[in-house]
Amino acid sequence: MFLYQFVQHRCAHEGSMKLADFTRAFKSAGGKMIRTAVVKELSRDFELTEKRGQTCIVGLSLCTSANKLRRFVDHNCLQADGLTCPLASIVRGSGVSRTKVIQQLTSWGFNISIVGGTTTVYGLGLKEAYV
């Protein structure tokens, strides 16, 4: 049962990853299944392929703060020149730490600066909630 919780809470159903990386992360989170049991359970929902002597899980990858932030930006933000957004809104909404949000947005090409005491992200705006 713990394997399904791990997949649900710490993985994204996109991309692919090595089985060795998955089992390492699963065991570090407290999972106590042996490799063959993990393979048996994962093969029910995912395709396992062999590449260069490594078993890969197709359609599954570990969530990182970048994945979490990317999902938030894709679902809740608009990207266009002239838009601005307070950094604090993105940090609260995404659940990712402020430092990691700044690093990731900067690496994606967004400009971030302090204007009037508020840290602002340029080129990104929050969608308005429809009631």
Placement of tokens 């009037």 in the chain: 116
Last residue of a domain, one of 17, 38, 62: 62
Phi/psi for 105 (5° steps) reads -65, -40
pLDDT of residue 35: 92
Is 117 within a domain? yes
Is 20 within a domain? yes
Q: Is the pTM of this model over 0.85?
A: no
pLDDT in tens, the chain (131 residues): 589 888 887 888 888 899 999 999 999 888 999 999 999 999 999 999 998 889 999 989 888 777 788 889 988 999 999 999 999 999 999 888 999 899 889 888 899 999 889 999 999 999 875 54
Q: What is the CATH number of the domain that holds 114?
A: 1.10.10
Is 38 within a domain? yes
In this structure, are strands 77-86 and 61-62 parallel, antiparallel, or unpaired?
Answer: unpaired
Are 58 and 26 part of one and the same domain? yes
What is the full DSSP assignment across 66-121? HHHHHHHHHHHEEEEEEEEEEHHHHHHHH---HHHHHHHHHHTT-EEEEETTEEEE
